[in-house]
Structure 1
Amino acid sequence: MTDTTRPQDPDSRCGFVAIVGRPNVGKSTLMNHILGQKLSITSRKPQTTRHQVLGIKTIGPVQAVYVDTPGMHEEEPRAINRYMNKAATSALKGVDVVVFVLDQLAWTTADELVLEKLSSLKCPVILAINKVDKIEKRETLLPHLDMLSRKRDFAEMIPVSALRQTNLLPLEECVGRFLPQSVHFYPDDQITDRSERFMASEMVREKITRQLGAELPYSVAVEIEEFKHDGKTLHVSAVILVEREGQKKIIIGDKGDRLRSIGQDARIDMERMFDNKVMLRLWVKVKRGWADSERALKSLGMNDF
């Protein structure tokens, strides 16, 4: 891939844009729809996102490097919770713009926590009020915006619907205006910094979360053991890690039905993303206490900041 940006282009802009907020406000959905491609996994379960994921969008002279982050939350009972909070807060270092995402008309102590984390930042903070399509009485939005405007001097406040793709272009244009003049950091056709192996593991984890969100706690991880191309076929082998035997039985399901369903859904997403026929093999392994162990988290690649 070749970076086609001309360093002498006075209109060339580039910078990092952190998307932050408490869990389950739609940060990953927002980034996916801005990019027009699914990079961050999503579900209705809070704290689905565990890692920083870069999504790169280049339109002409403007390259915005979006950083999707885990939801910032108040309690840190386990090592994995501490990891997610660190991943979220570390994304704020050196960014050029922050998009602070809220859920409709809500303002919670968790939102207040995020605002406090932003208090020392000198860069512009854009407030994106998400899921406005779900607000029944639109006349309640203006008083809410007025209340929010007294919380901080936001660069802009933009009501959006990530899922319905409402007002995303004005949000992108606003971000672009605040990016510094710079050559582009990445080739203009690159969309993420993450490896295909990482994307494959996240696709499997998403299907587990979506299918078993009400039955399993957060103690599920996915480790890719094989990822290789053989002609026109991509062979992927993944281990699903759980903490207890009971969780293993839930994921496998009756005669392996649930595991097959997870694999089928993940394979479809992989074939769409990698543009290859995919042979996906899954199995489940008990690894007790991994979510409480800093060492285990690092072995699973959760030390990327």
Structure 2
Amino acid sequence: MSENQSRCGFIAIVGRPNVGKSTLLNRILGQKLAITSRKPQTTRHRMLGIHTEADTQYVFVDTPGLHNSKGRALNDYMNKEATDSLRDVDAIIFVIDRLRWTEDDEAVLKLVQRTKTPVVVAINKVERLENKNEVFPYIETLQAKGDFADIVPISALQGTQVESLLAAIEKHIPESPHFFEDDQITDKSSRFLASEIVREKVTRQLGDELPYQMTVEIESFTDKGNVLDIHAVILVERDGQKRIVVGKQGSRIKLIGQEARLDMERLFDRKIMLHTFVKVRSGWSDDARALKSLGYDSD
């Protein structure tokens, strides 16, 4: 590459649910953009995370976790989002969880191998390994599974080896003008990011009680100068789910709103007036038209 020639490329971050893809994206960006939780399949949409370092711009595509279960429109949508993200990328980061190889990992491997795109494996959550040396024979096991461009043990949570992962990816970034402004971090609107923050807080608050058929819709997003006034509606499918989200005497919905407001103020660097409501919309998660109206549009 000629001296001072700019580079720009798209990198898909893929893996089965809950391996730390969104945590990795947030670590690379240096701020919270993609929502995270211990609940599998928290990520539902493709999201671009843009990281510009000197002359190189990395455009990361954070994807929903790929999984084998099918049947609901929402499941099918998320698998299509993840699969479509592999088209026309310059490199793929295949994130796996420590030494745990599952059928879903095998399915992801088969998918990425069909692309003929350079694949860098990120062995994530190594901070949880009691014996860190176990990772070295495991790297040899992985090398036997496929022709990977590189294999890098990392901790997305702690930031360990993330710079090494970026260096491994940089080799595959082509010469190109930057597609985005150097200070831009995503292609998503502030309205979308606000809905994702609320959805994360619901997910974290409810844990195992969380209705899988839950989403968040921003009914209004009004800029009042030094204040953003936001009305967020949490949609569930049944009255019983609404009671769970609201909590005893409204305690849970109040806490969700408080935590979401603080994250929004950090992200938008503005004072936030956040109003949260819970509504029942029966059957939305298995209705393709309803999904499209809520922003789950994979066309």
Is TM more than 0.5 here?
A: yes
Name the structure 2 match of 1:115. 109
In structure 1, the partner of 2:209 is: 215
* Aligned partner of 2:231 among 219, 237, 260: 237
The answer to whether the 8 A contact 2:46-2:81 is kept is yes
Q: Which residue of 2 aligns with 1:279?
A: 273
Superposition RMSD on alpha carbons, in Å? 1.1
Could you tell me how far 1:53 is from its partner in structure 2? 0.7
In 2: Cα distance, 1:27 partner to 1:63 partner: 19
CA contact (8 A) 2:77 2:298 kept: no
How far apart, CA to CA, are the structure 1 residues paired with 2:94 and 2:83?
13
Match of 2:120 in 1: 126
Instruction: Tell me if the contact between 1:14 and 1:179 (Cα under 8 Å) persists in the aligned partners.
Output: yes
Residue 213 of structure 1: SS of its match in structure 2?
A: helix
Runs of 4+ aligned structure 1 residues displaced above 2 Å come to: 8-11
Partner of 1:55: 49
| Identical pairs, percent | 56
Deviations for 1:165-196, whole angstroms, at most 9, x for unmatched residues? 00001111111121011111111111100000
1:33 aligns with 2:27: yes
**Hey, what's the Cα distance between the residues in 1 that align with 2:85 and 2:207?**
27
For residues 91-149 of structure 1, what are the alpha-carbon distances to aligned partners after superposition, in whole Å with 9 as ceiling and x for unaligned? 00000000000000011100000001112212210000000111112232122111110
**Matched residues, number:** 298
Q: Unaligned 5+ residue runs, structure 2?
A: none
Match of 1:260 in 2: 254
What TM-score do you get using the length of structure 1 for normalisation? 0.96
Kept after mapping to 2: 8 A contact 1:97/1:125: yes
Q: TM-score, length-normalised on structure 2?
A: 0.98
Report the counterpart of residue 75 of structure 1 in structure 2.
69
Aligned residues of 1:54 and 1:192 also touching (Cα < 8 A):
yes
| Structure 1: runs of 5 or more not aligned | 1-7
Name the aligned partner's letter for residue 197 of structure 1. R
The letter for the 2-side match of 1:126 is V
Give the C-alpha shift of residue 231 in structure 1.
2.2
Contact preservation (8 Å) 1:10, 1:181: no
Paired residues for 1:1-305 under 5 Å: 11-304=5-298
* Cα distance in 2, alignment partners of residues 240 and 114 from structure 1: 32
CA distance in 2, matches of 1:15, 1:180: 6
- Aligned-residue offset at 1:304: 4.4
